[in-house]
Amino acid sequence: MDKKIAIRDGYGKALAELGKEDPNIIVVSADLEDANKILAFREAFPDRFYTYGIAEQDMIGAACGFSLEGFTVFANSFAVFMTNRAYDQIRMCVCYNNANVKLVGSHGGITVGPDGGSAQCLEDYAIMRALPNMKVISPCDALEAAKATRAISRSRGPVYMRTARPASEILTKESDPFTIGKANILREGKDAVIIGCGLILGEALSAADMLETSGISAMVVNMHTLKPVDEEAVINAARKTGAVVTVEEHQVNGGLGSAVCEVLSRKMPVPVEMVAVKDTFGESGEPEELLAKYALKDTDIAEAVRRAVGRRRPAG
């Protein structure tokens, strides 16, 4: 993979294209247009772009007002401000009213880097997943983000989508389908399955390469939709391999790992290891350094796979 593109860029490009195709799309913002990659939309459609200044709660309410008038609204901020600062507005105005509002939080995860712990959103999956009517999506690359943007604009009702700051590898193919709630297999394998979402799936694929050299065949599943989680894909992968590792740039509590365990504990109990941030805030540093310090690297994932495989019950 040579060319790296940020997930947020994939979103911004698709949003500007969608603006051309669908005159019903409104974009609202809270003073982070460049960081959220919505400048192209703003330039092209100034009459359908509104900023509320640094007032996320007001922006979310306004987005719901637009939806009352029949518009499809994309609301933008950093993941951390969107989901935390405006949580009650998201719960009440967006979810309780089942408003047709798409929340896009950029700068999700620890790979935000030098801005430090205050800016690194590590709880958005958990708190968005807890809300009725909400769908939660975390694309793994710019290509998938573009497809996801189109898909969520077509889906009726609330959606939260996390994007990320750093340029990252393209892990999917142009021809890969994107269906909300339908996981994609990035790599086949038989001894264990790594289920992940977001750009950290790059680390998962690299871990699978490492494991192969030591004779462990790891499947990698891209669970781009955390809610509704693809239960069938989780069960099938667990049944096939008997050992599961979840990988995410998120707190270990309440995120993808939890979503996967909620399925497996009821339907297919197998050993699960979770690679995630262990109930702590992040700090300043380069993304690579942070992934290493918080044990989210390919080597950590490979180690977790070995643990899961070791815990698996012998057949028969």
Partner 1 sequence: MTERKFDLEEYGKRSLQFRKEIMLMLNKAGSGHSGGSLSCIDILNVLYYYEMRHRPKEPAWPGRDKFIMSKGHASPALYVTLAGCGYFSGGELDRFRKLGSILQGHVHVKVPGVEFSTGSLGQGLSVAHGAALGARLKRSGERIYCLLGDGEMQEGNVWEALMTAGNFGLDNLCAVLDYNKIQENGPVKEIKDLEPLKEKLENFKWHAIEIDGHDLLGIKCAFDEFRATGGRPTFIIANTVKGKGVSFMEGQSKWHGKAPSDDELEKALSELENMKV
- Burial of 40 per CB tally in 10 Å (0-12, 13-18, 19+): middle
Spot the catalytic one: 56, 123, 144, 231: 56
d(CA 204, CA 66): 40
Position 291, amino acid: L
Q: How far is the CB of 46 from partner 1 (least distance, A)?
A: 12
Tokens (6 digits) for 122: 């590590």
Determine, following the binding rule CB under 8 A, whether residue 58 of this chain makes contact with partner 1: yes
x/- track of binding to partner 1 for residues 67-96 (CB under 8 A): -xxxx----------------xx-xxx--x
Q: Give the binding-site size for partner 1 (rule: CB under 8 A).
A: 28
Nearer to partner 1, 56 or 191 (CB): 56
> Where does this chain touch partner 1 (CB under 8 A) — which range of 46-54, 103-111, 177-185, 303-311?
46-54
CB of 123 to partner 1, least distance (A): 20
* Known catalytic residue at 203: no
Cis peptide before 114 (omega within 30 of 0): no
**What tokens appear for 278 in the block?**
């262990």
Q: Judged by CB under 8 A, does residue 127 bind partner 1?
A: no
Q: Is residue 47 within the footprint of partner 1 (CB under 8 A)? A: yes
DSSP state of 54: S
Site string for partner 1, 5-44 (x = CB under 8 A): ---------------------x------------------
In the DSSP assignment, the letter for residue 155 is: S
Q: Which letter does DSSP use for residue 61 in this model?
A: H
227: helix, coil or strand?
A: strand
Of 31, 40, 45, 61, which one interacts with partner 1 (CB under 8 A)?
Answer: 61
**Within 10 Å of residue 73's Cβ, how many Cβ atoms?**
26
Strand 184-187 relative to strand 218-222, pairing: antiparallel
Q: Which of 63, 151, 234, 244 binds partner 1 (CB under 8 A)?
A: 63
Q: How far apart are the first and last CA of the chain?
A: 41
What are the structure tokens assigned to 166, written together? 């750093």
Rounded least distance, CB 31 to partner 1, Å: 13
Catalytic amino acids?
A: 56
Q: Name the site residues for partner 1 (rule: CB under 8 A).
A: 26, 47-48, 50, 52-53, 55, 57-66, 68-71, 88-89, 91-93, 96-97
